[in-house]
């Protein structure tokens, strides 16, 4: 399935004369910790599972994976610096978590730390949409990333 998706994206881009899009696979949801993985029959730690799936995605021709900020390092070690890592589970450093708390996500970090660990892209949702002033929350995260 991953091989077919990567091939189809590249073929369609060539047919249109455009750059191919990044084709990204998903590793393990940020809501899954080791006990949750065990409950669904995965006998590995989140880091081991993410590494296994990242290697499989890379071998299948994908451009990167979605992985929690806690697993950026293992993806980089397994797949190298050019493999894209899309990182959800981003929390604001100013308050440590969105106004509503960590919700179901168990493997989270602040934006600046995720970027420092090597995230290619970060996905920031709850810290912004759950904030009383979403625009100000976004500005705080941007300031955190830029070191201001």
Kindly state whether residue 6 falls inside one of the protein's structural domains.
no
Edge-first strand listing for the sheet containing 64-66 = 24-26, 64-66, 84-87, 121-122
Cβ atoms of 131 and 58 closer than 8 Å:
no
pLDDT in tens, 75-86: 999 999 999 999
The answer to whether residue 28 scores a pLDDT higher than 90 is no
Mean pLDDT of the chain, nearest integer: 90
User: Structurally, how many domains does the chain consist of?
Assistant: 1
- Count H helices and E strands in the chain, helices first: 7, 6
Residue 16 lies in a domain: no
Question: Which domain does 95 fall in, by range?
Answer: 23-146
Would 104 be classed as within a structural domain?
yes
Is 101 domain-assigned?
A: yes
Measured CA to CA, the distance from residue 105 to residue 113 in angstroms comes to 17
Q: Is residue 67 part of a domain?
A: yes
Q: CATH no. for residue 79?
A: 3.20.20.70
Least confident of 69-73, 100-104, 139-143: 100-104
Could you tell me if residue 5 is inside a domain?
A: no
Threshold 0.95, pTM exceeds: no
What pLDDT, on the 0 to 100 scale, is given for residue 109? Answer: 85
Asked if the structure places residue 31 within a domain, the reply is yes
């Amino acid at each position: 399935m991953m091989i077919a998706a990567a091939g189809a994206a590249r073929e369609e881009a060539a047919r249109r004369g455009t750059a191919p899009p990044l084709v990204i696979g998903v590793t393990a949801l940020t809501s899954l910790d080791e006990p949750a993985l065990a409950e669904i029959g995965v006998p590995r730690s989140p880091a081991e599972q993410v590494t296994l799936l990242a290697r499989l995605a890379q071998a299948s021709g994908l451009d990167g994976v979605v992985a929690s900020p806690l697993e950026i390092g293992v993806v980089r070690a397994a797949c190298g610096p050019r493999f894209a890592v899309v990182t959800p589970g981003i929390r604001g450093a100013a308050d440590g978590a969105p106004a509503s708390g960590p919700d179901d996500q168990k493997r989270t970090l602040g934006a600046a730390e995720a970027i420092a660990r090597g995230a290619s892209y970060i996905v920031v949702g709850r810290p912004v949409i759950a904030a009383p002033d979403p625009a100000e929350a976004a500005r705080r995260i941007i300031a955190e990333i830029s070191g201001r």
